[in-house]
Amino acid sequence: QKEVEQDPGPLSVPEGAIVSLNCTYSNSAFQYFMWYRQYSRKGPELLMYTYSSGNKEDGRFTAQVDKSSKYISLFIRDSQPSDSATYLCAMSLGGSYIPTFGRGTSLIVHP
Amino acid sequence: KAGVTQTPRYLIKTRGQQVTLSCSPISGHRSVSWYQQTPGQGLQFLFEYFSETQRNKGNFPGRFSGRQFSNSRSEMNVSTLELGDSALYLCASSASGTQTYEQYFGPGTRLTVT
């Protein structure tokens, strides 16, 4: 079992839909949970990170962490074609520990 | 602030050659990490440098090496290239040694080995 599992997709949705992207993990010691967006042929861009459990909102993006279920989600409201990208989740023990990345979910938002 | 920069952006090398990639972190960032990204394996951690010292190392053969300079700029070197080394090599920087969960990536160097 990989430490971080993420469905590769692709996930195809119409413009304006609410998108839900998810990751599961096995290491209960993870403290920081990150979401990155990666456009084709570009480097990953940090969207947001959350410490421990709970929700965090930034514009149209909401990150949710459920440590009891070892499950994290990223919700995108009012999705736009410009949101079409690969979304990677990552998790860290914190401090100087290197994050563990999921394989990424490809999202396609069609007009 | 300027972001993380990587040079060159594209490289084509022949099997058996060696290659050096360069990374300049965000100004003031002291931690630099290197990753290899391939469609089959995803993002795999190579190594991390902090204050010119290799602090973390991934599970890659000794052909992969790196260093960090006093200005935090970093280089990675791959010797005796193999076809399987074809990948996007990404560099990421963090502000401090205790915030490696908050990494900012460069655009990557796409290496093709023929």
Q: Using one digit for the tens of pLDDT, what is the confidence trace for B91-109? A: 999 998 788 889 999 999 9
Chain-chain contact of A96 with B90 (C-beta, under 8 angstroms): no
Q: How many CB atoms lie within 10 A of CB A28?
A: 8
B8, B109 Cβ separation under 8 angstroms = yes
According to DSSP, the residues that pair with A63 across neighbouring strands are A56, A74
pLDDT digits (tens, 9 = 90+) for A39-56: 998 999 999 999 988 899
Inter-chain CB proximity B42 and A34 less than 8 Å:
no
Residue B114 CA to residue B112 CA, distance in Å, equals 6
- Average confidence score pLDDT of chain A: 95
Judged by a CB distance cut-off of 8 A, whether residue A14 touches chain B is no
| Residues in chain A with pLDDT values less than 50 | none
Q: Report the distance separating Cα A9 and Cα A64, nearest Å.
A: 20
Contact B75, B18 (CB under 8 A): no
In residues, how long is chain A?
Answer: 111
**Chain B interface includes A39 (CB < 8 A):** no
Q: Residue A98 is encoded by which pair of tokens?
A: 């290197």
Mean pLDDT of B85-91: 97
A32: nearest CA in chain B?
B101
pLDDT of residue B98: 80
The Cα B77–Cα B19 span in angstroms is: 6
